[in-house]
Amino acid sequence: MAKINFGGVVEDVITVEEFSLDKARQVLKDEVVAVIGYGVQGPGQSMNMRDNGINVIVGQAKEFKDDWDRAVKDGWVPGKTLFDIEEAAKKGTIIQMLVSDAAQKAIWPTIKKSMNPGDALYFSHGFSIVYKDQTDVIPPKDVDVILVAPKGSGTSVRRNFLAGSGINSSYAVFQDATGRAEERTLAVGIAIGSGYLFPTTFENEVHSDLVGERGVLMGCLAGVMEAQYNVLRKNGHSPSEAFNETVEELTQSLIRLVDENGMDWMYANCSATAQRGALDWRHKFRDAVAPVFEDLYKSVVTGKETEIVIKANSAPDYKQRLRKELDEIRNSEMWSAGAAVRKLRPSNR
């Protein structure tokens, strides 16, 4: 492990220098990795492993035709590398549970009966294991239970891999039945294209992930953008101006500077007026939203958020309701303005 100083706290991380791709291939040479689910994380992780020379198969329910057809389009061959979920789970020695959290609860009886002693049960989210009282996912004692959680969407996992940069991932071992659980975890983590791997626990992963998604990464970000856009519009600013000042400048300029060299670097590359205002208002925004984040963290840790997810995502009309909610965002004035702005970018004209 490499010891890295993160803001004064020294942590252990794993990079390809400590655990090479050749070592990962050696660890996995006798394994069959069965990727269960070809929805969000499944495509990126499975194709990256395939490109890295790992023996990978995909398990996907045929009734979800879009996902099945996408797998075929991506080169998975029915009867050879693409199977239904039960058959793939029986063939695999490392079974990657990459269906949605609600779907994991539904398919668990099938997965459980398909596993053999010494297999590894792999997750990219601690949800099903940590909230076992709600999901009923309780693994047999004779299998490894491991986790690699990429810190990004499945699309980013694939794009970053193809760009040669990789995406950072956390990893954890919940149950080591074989004595090989950690090396299997690290091998798969490297094989899916992780930039580096940092240790966590199933509990910490799911708590931080659920808070992050509902908070800064998605929920808070969308809500704050809407609030600013609406205030600008209410005060007479055009849709184009409101969107550019709320979203376009952030995504096309400022966030790239943060990515490049940190928040202070972004501030240093903005005007003195922008710097002063941002520094003054930063604390007000932090203090205003801190109570909301406290409520959010409590809701996650107590399992309330899990209950909401399982109930909503298990409903027979879930996809229709989701589409309606996403359409409401897409068809709003703010994001309709965004579509027009994106078309006007030089690369899109």
Question: How many Cα neighbours within 13 Å face the side chain of 51?
Answer: 14
Tell me the pLDDT band of 74, cut-offs 50, 70 and 90: very high
Q: What percent of the chain has pLDDT over 70?
A: 100
Say yes or no: 129 and 249 in one domain. no
Question: How many Cα neighbours within 13 Å face the side chain of 101?
Answer: 23
Which structural domain range is residue 247 located in? 215-348
Total count of domains within the chain: 2
φ, ψ (nearest 5 deg) of residue 344: -85, -5
What span, in angstroms and rounded, lies between the C-alpha atoms of 146 and 192? 14
Residue 4 has pLDDT above 90, yes or no: no
Active-site annotation, residues:
125
Residue 249 has pLDDT above 90, yes or no: yes
- Considering 200, 230, 249, which residue would you say is the last residue of a domain? 200
* Mean pLDDT rounded to a whole number for the chain: 94
Say yes or no: 165 and 272 in one domain. no
Residue 250 has pLDDT above 80, yes or no: yes
Residue 206's pLDDT is 95
Residue 288 has pLDDT above 70, yes or no: yes
Q: Tokens representing 205?
A: 């992963």
- Contact between 132 and 159 (Cβ < 8 Å): no
What span, in angstroms and rounded, lies between the C-alpha atoms of 201 and 145? 12
Residue 349's pLDDT is 65
Say yes or no: 21 and 69 in one domain. yes
What span, in angstroms and rounded, lies between the C-alpha atoms of 303 and 220? 20
- Mean pLDDT over residues 125-132, rounded? 94
Say yes or no: 172 and 29 in one domain. yes
Burial zone of 182 (CB within 10 Å; 0-12 exposed, 13-18 middle, 19+ buried): middle
Residue 64 has pLDDT above 80, yes or no: yes
- Contact between 84 and 114 (Cβ < 8 Å): no
What span, in angstroms and rounded, lies between the C-alpha atoms of 332 and 337? 8
What span, in angstroms and rounded, lies between the C-alpha atoms of 246 and 222? 11
- Considering 172, 200, 228, which residue would you say is the last residue of a domain? 200
Residue 148's pLDDT is 97
Total-model pTM: 0.89
Say yes or no: 243 and 140 in one domain. no
What span, in angstroms and rounded, lies between the C-alpha atoms of 42 and 36? 7
Tell me the pLDDT band of 180, cut-offs 50, 70 and 90: very high
- Contact between 41 and 192 (Cβ < 8 Å): no
What span, in angstroms and rounded, lies between the C-alpha atoms of 96 and 279? 45
Residue 229's pLDDT is 97
Q: CATH number of the domain at 195, please.
A: 3.40.50.720
